[in-house]
Amino acid sequence: MKSIENEENTIKPEQSKLSRFCTIFKLIKFSHTIFSFPFAVMSAFIAAGGMPEIRQLLLIIGALVMARSCAMSFNRLVDAKYDIHNPRTAYRIQLQNNIGKMNLWFFTILCTILFVVCAGMLNRLSLLISPLALLIIFGYSYTKRFTNFSHLVLGLSLSLSPIGAWIGVTGSVAAAPFVLAFAVLLWTAGFDIIYACQDLQHDIKTKLHSIPKMMGIKNSLILSSVLHFLVVVTLFLFMYFTNLKYVYFGGVVFVGMMLIYEHSLIKPHDLSKINLAFFTVNGIISMILMVATIVDIFIFL
Is-contact 298 244, C-beta < 8 A? no
CA atoms within 13 A on the CB side of 271: 20
> How much is the pLDDT for 6?
45
Residue 215 burial (CB count, 10 A)? 15
141/224 Cα distance (integer angstroms): 21
> How much is the pLDDT for 13?
47
| Angstrom distances, CA of residue 237 to CA of 93, 174, 194, 254, 276 | 43, 15, 25, 16, 28
117/280 Cα distance (integer angstroms): 32
| Angstrom distances, CA of residue 40 to CA of 33, 49, 161, 201, 267 | 11, 14, 5, 35, 32
> How much is the pLDDT for 16?
65
Dihedral class, residue 288 (left if φ above 0, else alpha if ψ from -120 to 50, else beta): alpha
> How much is the pLDDT for 196?
95
| Angstrom distances, CA of residue 79 to CA of 67, 83, 133, 141 | 18, 6, 20, 7
Is-contact 243 287, C-beta < 8 A? no
pLDDT tens for residues 218-262?
A: 999 999 999 999 999 999 999 999 999 999 999 999 999 999 999
> How much is the pLDDT for 300?
86
Residue type, 190: G
Domains annotated for the chain, with CATH where assigned, are 4-300 (1.10.357.140)
Backbone phi, psi, residue 267, to 5°: -120, 150
Question: Could you report the average pLDDT of every consecutive run of 10 residues in the chain (301 residues)?
Answer: 42 58 88 91 97 97 97 96 92 92 96 98 98 98 97 97 98 97 98 95 95 97 98 98 96 98 94 87 96 95 75
Bridge partners (DSSP) of residue 57 are: none
